[in-house]
Amino acid sequence: MPQPVDQFVPGQKVVVTQQIAQRDKTWTIQVAGVVQRFEQAKTGSWYARSKDDKLWLDRLVLKKDDGEIVVCNLDQYTRVEAV
């Protein structure tokens, strides 16, 4: 069972699975890495009506084994699991 993303701590290894649904196909993407930080950051979206007139997104920043930094925007279709 996946944990809520705000329970993950820097240094913990996780696998993030995201799905993108289209008409006739669902794309599944996975990335594994070490948690650098969890943050809520606003977008530059001018049409979103929320706090400060910006859309706030949950973001999980990971560092992959090869050193690449990956920023995952989390939504209801995202699963984050500890390795």
More confident residue, 30 or 40: 30
- The answer on pLDDT for 36 being more than 50 is yes
**Per-residue buried b or exposed e for 8-43, using 16+ beta carbons within 10 Å of the residue's own CB:** beeeeebebbbeeeeeeeeeeeeeebebeebeeeee
- The answer on pLDDT for 82 being more than 60 is yes
- The answer on pLDDT for 51 being more than 80 is no
Domain assignments of the chain as residue spans, ordered by start: 5-82
Please, what sign has the CA dihedral across residues 79, 8, 75, 32? negative
Of 1.10.3470, 2.30.30, 3.30.70, 1.10.10, which CATH number belongs to 5-82? 2.30.30
